Amino acid sequence: MAAAYGQVPTTQMDTKAEEKSKKIDYFDLPCPIPYEEIQREAFMSLKPELFEGLRFDFTKGLNQKFALSHSVAMGPTELPSQSSETIKIPTAHYEFGANFIDPKLMLVGRVMTDGRLNARLKCDLTDKLTLKGNAQLTSEPHMSHGMATFDYKGSDYRAQFQMGNGALFGANYIQSVTPHLSLGGEVFWTGQHHKSGVGIATRYNTDKMVATAQVASTGMVALSFVQKVSEKVSLATDFIYNYLSKEVTSSVGYDYILRQCRLRGKIDSNGCTSAFLEERLNMGLNFILSAEIDHRKKDYKFGFGLTVGE
């Protein structure tokens, strides 16, 4: 009866509402991922912290913001060699650390038995401006490094400026172009080595997948694709090619999160397979297993460890 009196049928109203929602508001785009994290999904799935030997990490929280950590690592360390053979020397080290984590300030420090100090700082100066710093200090001359980074977060863009010792300067910018697509570029200049470079990157992400591409004048071409099958399962692949050094690698991997553990594995085009398992034995107690087998170089690495605390 209502339709007979000229009222628009319900189905047409639904269609118009759908059309309106589909129109993109280019002045209301989401803020993109930081430029250096453009491949973070692929990185998390394909590049776990593989290690060889024994690893033990203990973190003790003294209060809600401050924690101390003790780490012991024992195992062979690979030395760079010009021949195809792998040279390893057995090493063992202890690392003492302190963390201060506040919503607006984060300070992390690590000191090792050989005198090396690593320090990281992250401070939210304002809601949109963040200062980050990191430093590695050693007793060896000319081997200490430091870098400061300023991040500015806009409504639909991010900008970053970096400066480090050795007259290192860098900047990058990334902009959301559509709700799913963002484009960015970077430039860096090192005064000490008289080198400079530029790069561009693009990222396309939906609820189900993330695809990225990056090209730099240093010769690097990097493509990645991550399929988020579910909240617990991700399948990832990447392709990295350096047209200056003529090296190319492609990897395929998975990231599977179970109730009590997280399992990541991958295989690459150079004949190297790896797996990393983190098993939660109890609250605050994790058991980790790492394995990496390089069939081509006949290099086999296995590691196990425990992490106690958060």
| CA nearest to 180, candidates 208, 215, 153, 200 | 208
233: contact with another protein by CB under 8 A = yes
One of 249, 295, 298, 300 touching another protein (CB under 8 A): 249
**DSSP E strand boundaries for the chain:** 53-61, 66-79, 87-101, 105-112, 117-124, 129-137, 145-153, 157-164, 168-176, 181-190, 195-205, 209-216, 220-228, 233-242, 247-257, 261-268, 272-282, 285-294, 299-308
230: contact with another protein by CB under 8 A = yes
Q: How many residues can be counted in the chain?
A: 310
State the number of binding residues for another protein (CB under 8 A). 29
What is the phi/psi pair of residue 22, to 5°? -75, -20
One of 63, 64, 82, 260 touching another protein (CB under 8 A): 260
CA atoms of 237 and 131, how far apart (whole Å): 33
254: contact with another protein by CB under 8 A = yes
The structure tokens listed for 286 are: 């994790």
Site string for another protein, 210-229 (x = CB under 8 A): -------------x-x-x-x
Cβ proximity to another protein: between 125 and 233 the closer is 233
Q: CB 309 → another protein: shortest distance, Å?
A: 17
Q: CB 259 → another protein: shortest distance, Å?
A: 8
297: contact with another protein by CB under 8 A = no
Q: CB 241 → another protein: shortest distance, Å?
A: 7
| 3-state secondary structure labels for all residues of 235-283 | EEEEEEEECCCCEEEEEEEEEEECCCEEEEEEEECCCEEEEEEEEEEEC
Count Cβ neighbours within 10 Å for each residue of 26-52 and write b for 16 or more, e otherwise.
eeebeebbbbbebbbbbeebbbbebbb
One of 161, 241, 302, 304 touching another protein (CB under 8 A): 241
Q: CB 215 → another protein: shortest distance, Å?
A: 15
Site string for another protein, 177-216 (x = CB under 8 A): --------------------------------x-------
Cβ proximity to another protein: between 22 and 246 the closer is 246
Q: CB 205 → another protein: shortest distance, Å?
A: 15
Dihedral of alpha carbons 104, 126, 164, 212, sign: positive
286: contact with another protein by CB under 8 A = no
CA atoms of 186 and 204, how far apart (whole Å): 18
Residues binding another protein (CB under 8 A): 209, 223, 225, 227, 229-230, 233, 235, 237-239, 241, 246, 248-250, 252, 254, 256, 258-261, 263, 269, 277, 279, 281, 287
